Amino acid sequence: MADILPAYIHLEIVTPDHKIAEEEVDEVSIPGREGYLGVLPGHAPLITELQTGPLEYRQNDSRHYVAVHWGFAEVLPDRVIVLAEIAERGEDIDVERAENKRKRVEEYLKSHPESDPETVKARDDLRRAICRLETARQVRA
Ligand code: ATP
């Protein structure tokens, strides 16, 4: 007998100290290490590392965006569990704070050589700031 396709995906997004979302959704797009991973109900099981980026999920016609920074996602046919080190819902992002951070880090990077150990951290900071701005922009689009 053929397997019955699940109607929804049970999506959970958690950080070490917060539950960001727990919802029944139609579709999830995950910023995976190898690029974006589109997940529909019935997807084959897998685990992927996250990269810093906006995660998107859809419930009927409404789309939601969450900035995720580092961690893992487990995909099962009827469930997606995202364990992110840091995450913010798009609507909770403080755009001014992220914009200030982006400017500060860009200034810092202009005057510090590639070989500076702090530069690696600064590049990560910049990626998170850009991700927050992009996620907030998608919510407000
Ligand atoms: P900042 O220098 O502005 O604190 P940061 O890059 O050092 O930024 P993170 O270390 O990435 O900040 O995150 C620390 C905490 O602050 C996390 O809980 C994160 O969710 C929150 N956070 C950071 N920036 C923002 C923002 N722009 N809007 C909402 N929450 C944020």
**The CATH number of the domain covering residues in 92-140:** 1.20.5
Residues of the chain with CATH 2.60.15.10: 9-91
The CATH label, of 1.10.1740.10, 2.60.15.10, 2.40.30.110, 3.30.2010.10, for the domain at 9-91 is 2.60.15.10
Residues of the chain with CATH 1.20.5: 92-140
Mean pLDDT within 45-74? 97
Mean pLDDT within 4-22? 95
CA distance 75 to 78: 8
Q: Which residues line ligand 1 (CB under 6 A)?
A: 86, 88, 92-94, 97-98, 101, 125, 128, 132
Distance 3 CA to ligand 1 centre (A): 43
CA distance 94 to 36: 25
Best probe residue, ligand 1, of 13, 66, 86, 102 (max atoms within 8 Å of C-beta): 86
73 vs 2, residue with greater confidence: 73
Nearest CA to ligand 1 atom 11: 128
pTM, full prediction: 0.95
pLDDT at 2 over 80: no
Residue type, 85: E
